[in-house]
Structure 1
Amino acid sequence: MIDFYTWGTPNGHKIRIMLEACGLEYRLHLVNILNKEQFAPEFLKISPNNKIPAIVDSEGPGGQPISVFESGAILIYLAEKCGKYLPQDPRQRVEVMEWLMWQMGGFGPMLGQAHHFNKFAPEPVPYAIERYCAEAHRLWGVLDERLASREFVCGQMSIADFAIYPWANRFEFQKIEPEQYANVHRWMEHMKSFDFVQTGLLTPEG
């Protein structure tokens, strides 16, 4: 059994998509980040960077429990556990890891800044809005080019798709019209056709 600590954010969604895709049994534990529950001492024992998502797998390596924090690390752990969505072929594996790191290092953080300054900042900051919206468009352009000749980001469906899609799905927060990026739009429509993706995007309920 996997205990899954989450909230309704893109990083939380990516892990729920993976859990559903792998058919793994899990329990939802809501960590209300609006109420700062991520700073609770018991949660910090699992996720020392006070961020969701995090998991505790009661049947970890050697049959012993293990906790994992950071969404990219969780995706890799789950892929190795279930033997899916992360190729064994070294070249293909590197490709998936590249695009997972692209999401972790750029697509997520930069779009997260766009979300903040477009939707949540207490007052408009024009410089920040212009900067992060411009970077959002640049990153969407990179992804659009990547998908020009591929059904999925790395050819076959992988953890790279699960990592990137929830962030692309918040396009309104980025002032992006997906139709501007035809290849990304096609890929997004394909991704949302999967039941496990739809379930993964559901807002957790208490």
Structure 2
Amino acid sequence: MSEPTGYVPPEVWTWDRESGGRFASINRPIAGPTHDKVLPVGKHPLQLYSLGTPNGQKVTILLEELLAAGYSGAEYDAWLINILEGDQFGSGFVDVNPNSKIPALVDRSGAEPVRVFESGAILVYLAEKFGAFLPTSGAARAEALSWLFWQVGSAPFLGGGFGHFYAYAPVKIEYAINRYAMEVKRQLDVLNRRLAEHEYIAGADYTIADMAIWPWYGGLLRGELYGEAATFLSTHEYEHVQRWTKQLAARTGVRRGRIVNRATGPLEEQLRERHDASDFETKTADKLAAQ
């Protein structure tokens, strides 16, 4: 692995846009909009503005699970936010999420619209709104929320740490890759030990904790994240996480939710926007290309 040499941090840091690598265009040291752009609004009370990354998939999986469970009020419009084109810096999106990160949700079912940003907050909001996939009290609720926030705190090590330095950084830094690979392996062991004793993350019941963790760690075990990372990290060793990953992948809500707002990967797994349940049958990228 090539190692950068001779770098000495300056007394005062300044932004060098050209040093940002593959994602230089989406990162900057200031907040706020770069341009005026009104967000579209569809026919359903729930308006989701997102991208089919692991964080985006968390919310669409929950919405599809709610619909599969019979909660018709969970119908939603999902609008694609292309972060590589700077959609997250449009004025309308910044009004919904001042942090300019996907996903962001607007609930228009009441007298006044309610904005919700940060994927974990959206999961809790929707679970409480519909009274599903989150225990209402006691130890069961505490367990589910603990694992949900475990994921929120752990994902930066997997994505922003390991994934960035292993797959995206313009140079391979052995120290950084080793540091974050060790942490991801430890996290996988945490999950493996937990799932050795419980069917789902929070215990006997399927909850938003599973929906939050699966797109990240299930995606890693399925070989969907960071190139050859599954081989590099020997993810086959985590047999109980493998069992759980396959179990959730078979669910209709997961199969549907994981492809919403996706703009990469196999064409049959890209539903760039979702406005009706029938879109899964008629508007995936492979079907649109065949028209």
When the two structures are superposed, what TM-score results if normalisation uses the length of structure 1? 0.94
Aligned to 1:21: 65
Alignment of 1:99-110 (within 5 A): 99-106=147-154, 108-110=155-157
Q: After superposition, give the CA deviation of every residue in 1:118-154 in whole Å (9 maximum; x if it has no partner).
A: 1111121111111111110000000111111111001
Deviation at 1:115, TM superposition (A): 1.2
Letter in 2 for 1:16: T
1:188 aligns with 2:245: yes
Q: Distance in 2 between matches of 1:20 and 1:42?
A: 25
User: SS where residue 170 of structure 1 aligns?
Assistant: helix
Aligned to 2:90: 40
Match of 2:206 among 157, 176, 187: 157
Q: Which protein is bigger by CA-based radius of gyration?
A: 2
Q: Distance in 1 between matches of 2:215 and 2:149?
A: 15
Aligned to 1:75: 123
Q: Distance in 2 between matches of 1:37 and 1:64?
A: 25
Q: Distance in 1 between matches of 2:137 and 2:78?
A: 33
1:52 aligns with 2:99: no
Q: Distance in 1 between matches of 2:75 and 2:189?
A: 37
Aligned to 1:6: 50
User: SS where residue 77 of structure 2 aligns?
Assistant: strand
Structure with the bigger percentage of helix: 1
User: SS where residue 49 of structure 2 aligns?
Assistant: strand
User: SS where residue 233 of structure 2 aligns?
Assistant: coil
Of structures 1 and 2, the one with the larger relative CO (CA 8 A, separation 6+) is: 1
Gaps of 5+ in 1: none
Match of 2:144 among 92, 96, 112: 96
When the two structures are superposed, what TM-score results if normalisation uses the length of structure 2? 0.67
Match of 2:163 among 115, 130, 152: 115
Aligned to 1:30: 80
Aligned to 1:136: 184
